[in-house]
Structure 1
């Protein structure tokens, strides 16, 4: 929850409780005084200043590009260095005057100019055409700037360059896993954790997805199913986020919650991909594994971490979250057994997984998890209904049976639960 939204809701609750006589006015005043001050937001003047600065920077770059061939090499190099120095100097001045947003913007521009400098120096001096290596160098420089300045924008630039780097390495050398990206990602995750920044946590969570996608789409996995490998990645992200959030630390709670949200949505997307692509787009090859051993271990680790989180936090919703992860992963070994016919058991496992995800979010009062589960249910039902393979009559019978079982289960659950908790 964002700080400003939380403060507004808390202020409304305090006013209501004080009016109803639940708390004394002195207690409400004590709560308000105990809260730390809100960080200043971005006002209209700051937005206009950012747009003006970007326009001036774009004009400078356009002017330099128009006369690039006429400028001597040393002068070109000096221009690049001057651009980084000016951006850093302005960022330091804005930081000293308390204008943190503009300081972050200057650090981001400096990181972008650093990347442009790598490309232009390579073009001027005809260096080797290792574009992936250049992206790695750019990522290292941007992450170093983020470490020194605390800039979220520089972190975003560094992670974007690292994602391009790992995708290029996966394309150039698809035989081996590109594990160096994991080290870069862990460094960025450590920064986000140390900053206790929700924005940085979002960036880190998003940056984990391209590596899994690029790895799953490699052409040298001997028939391994991309959807199943992506399911293992979603399971690891979801389970690790839950486990981190269960640690007794507000910093860990914020960071882990963001990771678990992205893991929940990734799990829902993967469930839909399994239904729509495994039989229709990508066929099993003879004697080919559905997924490599390292991916299976990642998925198992995700389930284990989710169960460990449930044990630590004593939250029933996280047990169901672990069940959702396990059921999505269970579809992988079930699918080859039914390759000759309809994979009804796999469909049932995935539907149960998405239902568990919805109930998990409701029990733990985590709205993103509920939304992810509902989107997964809608996508899975649509995939089962409109898949090309098999007859539509058989699919309608399966969906009707699944619906009847679900309604019967809901009726029994409604009678078993106390009236207050229904």
Structure 2
């Protein structure tokens, strides 16, 4: 929850509690005085300054590009070097005057100019055509800027360059895992943990997705469906996020909760993809074998174990259901080849149960993103089952009707059990 939104809700609650006589006016004043000051936000002046800075930077780059061939090599390099120095100097001045957003913007611009400098040197001196290596060097420089300045924008630049780097490496060697990106990602995750920044946590969570997607699409293994590999990645991300959030540390809780949110949404997307890409609407593999790589299976198993371990630490029933949701999505993968001769009803049932468990998990733990992810997953799976190409539509309607009756019965039983558990 963002601090400003939380303060607004707390202030409204304090006024209401004071009016209802729940707390004394002195207690309300003490609560307000105990709260730390809010960090300065982005006002209209800051927005205007950011837009102006971006326009000036774009004008500078356009001018240089228009006269690129007329400028001597050393002068080109000096221009880019001066751009980095000016961006760093302005960033230091903005940081000293307390304008952190503008300082962050300057650090980001400096990181971008650094990448342009790498491209310039390679183009001027005809260095090797290892474009991926240049992206790695750019990523390292941006990470260094982020580490020295605490810039979230520089971290975003570094992660974007690292994602391009790993995607190119995966494309060049589809039969091998590009584990070097995992090392870079762990460094970024350590920065997000040290900064205790929700923005950095979101950047880190988003950055892991391109690696999994590129790996699942390019990994050359007969019969492997990309959705199955993605399912294991979503399981690991979701379970690891829950486990990290269970650590008794505000920093760990913030990072883990963000990772768990992206893991929940990834799990919902994967449930939809398993129906649409494996059996019905789209086919991304022509093989009949559904054997998965051992490393992917281990990642999925670790995700389930971490989710169960988190439930054991936090004593939350919702996290047990989250582990069940992960396990059911993973279970649907080996069920599909067993139903190759007919409709994969058990796989459909497993996916629907998984998404229902995800929704109930979010309700029990009061985690709204998990609820939204579960509902989106249910809608996607039902739509994919309904509009699947093969099979009888009448049988599918009967299956959905039975599934609806079971869901209603489950909801009724849960509604009766919850008050007893509360007592």
1:15-41 CA-partner distances (Å, limit 9, x unpaired): 111111111111111111111100000
Q: Which residue number corresponds to residue 295 of structure 2?
A: 294
Shift of 1:252: 0.9
- Whole-Å separation in 2 of the counterparts to 1:337 and 1:381: 21
> Aligned with 1:193: secondary structure?
helix
Q: Which residue number corresponds to residue 177 of structure 1?
A: 177
Please identify, of 143-152 and 63-72, the stretch whose mean Cα deviation from structure 2 is larger.
63-72
1:151-300 equivalences in 2 (<5 Å): 151-218=151-218, 220-280=220-280, 281-282=282-283, 285-286=287-288, 288-300=289-301
Q: Which residue number corresponds to residue 410 of structure 2?
A: 409
Shift of 1:414: 3.1
Q: Which residue number corresponds to residue 325 of structure 1?
A: 326
Q: Is the 8 A contact 2:232 2:297 kept in 1?
A: yes
Structure 2 unaligned regions, length at least 5: none
> Aligned with 1:306: secondary structure?
helix
- Whole-Å separation in 2 of the counterparts to 1:382 and 1:241: 29
- Whole-Å separation in 2 of the counterparts to 1:321 and 1:415: 21
Shift of 1:175: 1.2
- Whole-Å separation in 1 of the counterparts to 2:422 and 2:404: 23
- Whole-Å separation in 1 of the counterparts to 2:290 and 2:128: 39
- Whole-Å separation in 2 of the counterparts to 1:401 and 1:393: 12
1:294-345 CA-partner distances (Å, limit 9, x unpaired): 0000000000000000000001100000000000000011111001110000
- Whole-Å separation in 2 of the counterparts to 1:366 and 1:259: 13
Q: Which residue number corresponds to residue 102 of structure 1?
A: 102
- Whole-Å separation in 1 of the counterparts to 2:421 and 2:231: 37
Q: 1:395 to 1:61 in 2, by over 3 A?
A: same
- Whole-Å separation in 1 of the counterparts to 2:128 and 2:417: 70
Q: Which residue number corresponds to residue 419 of structure 2?
A: 418
Give me the CA root mean square deviation. 1.4
1:66-117 CA-partner distances (Å, limit 9, x unpaired): 1111111111111111110010000000000000000000000000000011
Q: Is the 8 A contact 1:122 1:128 kept in 2?
A: yes
TM-score, normalization by structure 1 = 0.98
- Whole-Å separation in 2 of the counterparts to 1:315 and 1:8: 28
Q: Which residue number corresponds to residue 83 of structure 1?
A: 83
Q: Is the 8 A contact 1:228 1:290 kept in 2?
A: no
Q: Is the 8 A contact 2:176 2:219 kept in 1?
A: no
Structure 1 unaligned regions, length at least 5: none
Q: Which residue number corresponds to residue 307 of structure 1?
A: 308
Q: Which runs of 4+ in 1 moved over 2 A?
A: 280-286, 408-422
> Aligned with 1:418: secondary structure?
helix
